[in-house]
Amino acid sequence: MSKDANNQPAKNHGMVLLERVVQRLKLARLAATEGRVNDVGKLVEIVREVVRDSRFPIEKRTEVLNLAKALELDSYKRATDLALNDGFESAQKGDMETRYKHIQKARELMVRALGLGAGDDFKQICDKKIEVIMMSGDSKIDVNRKKAKLSTEEILANEKKYSDRRAHPRFTDTVLQVTVNGQTYDTIDWSYGGMMLANHPGPVAGGQIWPCQIRSAGMKRVIETPVEVVRWHEDKTALSLRFVKLPPADLGELLGVVRAKAITEAKAAKASG
């Protein structure tokens, strides 16, 4: 009997183990997008245990372990963002005790995410959001306005239309008008970290710092803030910019536009339903 024939049972079992890992990783990916850190942790532990089996394909081990770690990180980043969203809602409703609990939870999740390799930009954005949440709870809330608020579940469900499943929501429906170098462009999308402008003629070298002005329907004032050029996308004539330093008050202004639109859309959907 040949050597290959002797090794065939081990190879077959190795493929079974690989398939088991693939299925667990698919479940972990779904759980990560929903911020279910405990579920992701359990699935990742199963994956790591399977990979330790000597019959698992050795050429796949590093790739699988790196992917498992990335999914675990994604779950903590998403869970942090969800906790901050809940904290903002509590602040808007005047529930300071619950606001504090959500902020504490977000900070604990953020620390875990940083331990898994989240970058400084993630921490900076989280810190900005926490500042905005704390500022939001400092003003007295009008009673009638409070009664008109939709539930957290309704607002968050509606906001999903404006963001993908990234750790930091990327809004496409709420368009900003951005003026740089004397020209004004609409955003293709934007997030708490930066934005992409449509129909920019380019080419533009990355790394430049520009002053810019941001306007949008529903904003109470024009935001003036420096941005850094990240990349000009020749294939779609779009320009990616990063916020150099967006003060909490400006971030709050942008968040307010998105929240107001989410509430309006949710009310309209509720009325038509």
Q: What CATH number does residue 195 fall under?
A: 2.40.10.220
Tell me the residue range of the domain where 71 lies.
Answer: 1-141
| Separation of alpha carbons 254 and 247, rounded Å | 11
> What pLDDT, on a 0 to 100 scale, did the predictor assign at position 91?
78
182 φ, ψ (degrees, to nearest 5) = 80, 0
Instruction: Give 150's pLDDT tier (boundaries 50, 70, 90).
Output: very low
Determine the straight-line distance between the first and last CA of the chain, rounded to whole angstroms. Answer: 71
Please indicate, yes or no, whether residues 18 and 137 belong to a single structural domain of this protein: yes
In a domain, 154, yes or no: no
Residue whose structure tokens are 């809004």: 171
Please indicate, yes or no, whether residues 181 and 132 belong to a single structural domain of this protein: no
Nearest CA-CA partner of 152 in 104, 98, 116: 98
Q: Which amino acid is at 28?
A: A
4-18, 56-70, 251-265: which has the minimum mean pLDDT? 4-18
Pairwise pLDDT comparison (68 vs 265), residue with the higher score: 68
From 141, 164, 188, give the residue that closes a domain: 141
Q: Is the bond preceding 203 in cis, omega lying within 30 degrees of 0?
A: yes
3-state secondary structure at position 271: helix
Instruction: Give 255's pLDDT tier (boundaries 50, 70, 90).
Output: confident
Residue whose structure tokens are 């009310």: 267
In a domain, 165, yes or no: no
> What pLDDT, on a 0 to 100 scale, did the predictor assign at position 141?
39
Please indicate, yes or no, whether residues 75 and 130 belong to a single structural domain of this protein: yes
Q: How many CB atoms lie within 10 A of CB 229?
A: 17
Please indicate, yes or no, whether residues 188 and 66 belong to a single structural domain of this protein: no
> What pLDDT, on a 0 to 100 scale, did the predictor assign at position 137?
52
Supply the DSSP symbol for 129.
H
Supply the DSSP symbol for 273.
-
Question: In this prediction, what percent of the chain has a pLDDT beyond 70?
Answer: 79
Please indicate, yes or no, whether residues 137 and 210 belong to a single structural domain of this protein: no
> What pLDDT, on a 0 to 100 scale, did the predictor assign at position 88?
82
212 φ, ψ (degrees, to nearest 5) = -145, 160
Give me the residues paired with residue 196 across strands: 189, 240
Contact 70, 202 (CB under 8 A): no
| Separation of alpha carbons 187 and 238, rounded Å | 9
Element spanning 210, H or E: strand 209-215
Q: Look over the chain and give the mean of its residue pLDDT values, rounded to a whole number.
A: 79
Q: Which amino acid is at 134?
A: M
Q: Which amino acid is at 158?
A: N
